[in-house]
Amino acid sequence: MPRRSDSDSGSEGGAESGGRKPKQRARIAVSLSSLGEAALSYLNRRDASRDKLVKHLEQWIRRRGTPEDPREARPLIQELASRYQASGLINDDRLAKNALDSLRSKGASSRAIAYKLRARGVDASVIDSTLASEKKESRSAELDAARALVKKKRMGSLRPEAERAANHRRDLAALARAGFDFDTARRALGASGADDES
């Protein structure tokens, strides 16, 4: 049996058998055009606030751009963000409204929604305005969301009758952790889920 040469044995456990280093992507010259491509690629995947887009582009420059320092490109990033904001491609009001609708349907409280929107870079004044508009349109939005969470988690009257009393405090605590006040949590856990607004 012929002996393996040293070069043959290099494939075992070496670079070619799984220890291969990932290919480094070529860095891209930072320009309005390359930033625009990076921004549109990001915005095609998700709706973003102006602040989140700016942070994404700064991160993109650190990972892929040349030069790697985003400070030098801040005027270009701000120009691009302003252009997209003026055209409506990025719109914090729309982002906040869409997120509010989506999160409410999943049982999110106003506190949880405000927290998530802040994390997405939405300005506090936009968050306050969006929640205030919702409150004008629907006085029961918070209660409806709490009931949606009760239904999703099968709490309160959705538990088997023998388990309800023993889990009542636990269910109240779960709703409190989700950001609902005591009265809203108590009403959401009520029997039947019918309105008990009085």
Examine the pLDDT at 140 and tell me if it is beyond 60: yes
pLDDT score for 17: 52
How do the domains of the chain map onto residue ranges? Answer: 28-87, 92-198
Q: Which residues pair with 65 in a beta bridge?
A: 28
Answer for the pair 142, 110: CB distance below 8 angstroms, yes or no: yes
For the segment 149-166, what is each residue's pLDDT rounded down to a tens digit? 999 999 998 899 899 899
Token pair, residue 165, equals: 């009393």
pLDDT score for 19: 65
Of residues 49 and 24, more confidently modeled = 49
What's the mean per-residue pLDDT of the chain?
87
Token pair, residue 42, equals: 């990001």
> In this structure, what are the phi and psi dihedrals at residue 65, rounded to the nearest 5 degrees?
-85, 165
Examine the pLDDT at 142 and tell me if it is beyond 90: yes
Cα separation, 161 vs 123, in Å, equals 45
For the segment 78-121, what is each residue's pLDDT rounded down to a tens digit? 999 999 999 999 999 999 999 999 999 999 999 999 999 999 99
Percent of the chain at pLDDT > 70 equals 85
pLDDT score for 68: 87
Confidence label for 10 from pLDDT (cuts 50, 70 and 90):
very low
Q: What is the mean pLDDT of residues 109-135?
A: 96
* DSSP per-residue codes, the chain: -PPPPHHHHTTSSSGGGT-PPPPPPPPEE--HHHHHHHHHHHHHH----HHHHHHHHHHHHHHHEES--GGGGHHHHHHHHHHHHHHTSS-HHHHHHHHHHHHHHTT--HHHHHHHHHHTT--HHHHHHHHHHHHHH-TTHHHHHHHHHHHHHT-GGGS-HHHHHHHHHHHHHHHHHTT--HHHHHHHTSSTT-----
CA distances from 91 to 86, 87, 114, 193 (A): 9, 9, 17, 36
Q: What's at 73, amino acid-wise?
A: A
Examine the pLDDT at 42 and tell me if it is beyond 70: yes
Q: What is the mean pLDDT of residues 73-77?
A: 95
Answer for the pair 82, 35: CB distance below 8 angstroms, yes or no: no
Q: What is the mean pLDDT of residues 172-183?
A: 96
Percent of the chain at pLDDT > 90 equals 72
Examine the pLDDT at 18 and tell me if it is beyond 80: no
Of residues 67 and 114, more confidently modeled = 114
Examine the pLDDT at 132 and tell me if it is beyond 90: yes
Sign of the CA dihedral with 70 first, then 76, 81, and 84 last: negative
pLDDT score for 22: 65
